[in-house]
Amino acid sequence: MLLQEFNDAPATEAADAVRPCVDIDSWVDGVVNGRPYAGIAELLDRADSLARAWTPVEVEKALADHPRIGERHAGSGASAQMSGSEQAGVDPRDTDIQRRLAAGNAAYEERFDRIYLVRAAGRSAEEILALLDERLGNDPETEIAVTSGQLREIALLRLEGLLS
């Protein structure tokens, strides 16, 4: 979708277009209600500002639409397609990486009671694993802030890809 098409679309259509970027109602509504945008930079600035206001509850809810690192999205829509391309650096046939990711995911979920979320786009499996090990040392308050930041990065990359 081009930016002008997004600007001109009915609100429900525009919301449906951006929701796969991140399923947080306040963000989707804010991005849609900010139209029209003069350019992608203005749109991304608004989206970034809105994302910085996410609550821990909103972040937790949005994680339901993300697969574990190393696993494939269970759905078949736009969010699943985006997720698949973002995790391209994780080879599903590399059994050592898959074993290490499974162990790391389990340790993370045991510690924080949610999935480990990281912006995987542009990162290798080794980088993702190193970040996972590092983040296991965070306290819960720090980690929800880091998770929110990673979710924001994912949302902005998806939005930019969708509308540019």
What's the CA gap between 113 and 92, in Å, rounded? 24
Question: Angle, to 10 degrees, between the axis of helix 25-33 and the axis of helix 40-51?
Answer: 150
- Close Cβ partners of 133 (under 8 Å, ≥ 6 residues apart): 104
pLDDT digits (tens, 9 = 90+) for 12-61: 999 999 999 999 999 999 999 999 999 999 999 999 999 999 999 999 99
Which among 46, 58, 57, 53 has a CA at the least distance from the CA of 22? 58
Q: What is the pLDDT of residue 86?
A: 59
pLDDT at 137: 97
> What pLDDT score does 77 carry?
58
What pLDDT score does 76 carry? Answer: 53
CA distance 69 to 83: 10
Identify the structural domains of the chain with CATH numbers, from first to last.
3-163 (1.10.3330.10)
Provide mean pLDDT across the span 123-140: 95
pLDDT, tens digit, for every residue of 83-101? 455 555 677 778 899 899 9
Instruction: Round the average pLDDT of the chain to a whole number and report it.
Output: 90
| Measured CA angle at 158 (ends 157, 161), to 5 deg | 85
Confidence (pLDDT) at 93: 78
**Per-residue DSSP letter, 68:** P
The sign of the dihedral angle between the CA atoms of 144, 145, 150, 152 is: positive
| pLDDT given for residue 10 in this prediction | 98
Predicted pLDDT of residue 39: 97
